[in-house]
């Protein structure tokens, strides 16, 4: 797989994790009431797939 794409997905994944960690829980609770559940599910699905992709390509690094 293209190393640039893997690095980009890795950066996006950890950026999203840091964004979730840095936001406080009340903001996330209000955000949960605003965003539809499908959008949140798609976002977490993307995070999980990018983490899985990083773990799979880890031996190549």
pLDDT reported for residue 37:
64
pTM of the model: 0.40
Question: Could you tell me the residue ranges of all domains in the chain?
Answer: 3-60
Query: Tens-of-pLDDT digits for all 61 residues of the chain?
Result: 677 887 777 777 877 776 666 655 556 566 666 666 666 677 777 778 778 777 887 776 5
- Nearest alpha-carbon partner for 15 in 43, 53, 52, 37: 43
Number of neighbouring beta carbons within 10 Å of residue 9: 19
Q: Residue 53: CB partners within 8 Å, gap ≥ 6?
A: 1, 6, 9
């Amino acid at each position: 797989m293209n190393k640039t794409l893997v690095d980009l997905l890795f950066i996006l994944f950890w950026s999203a994790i840091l964004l979730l960690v840095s936001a406080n829980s009340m903001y996330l609770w209000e955000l949960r009431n605003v965003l539809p559940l499908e959008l949140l599910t798609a976002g977490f699905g993307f995070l999980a797939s990018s983490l899985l992709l990083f773990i799979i390509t880890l031996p190549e690094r």
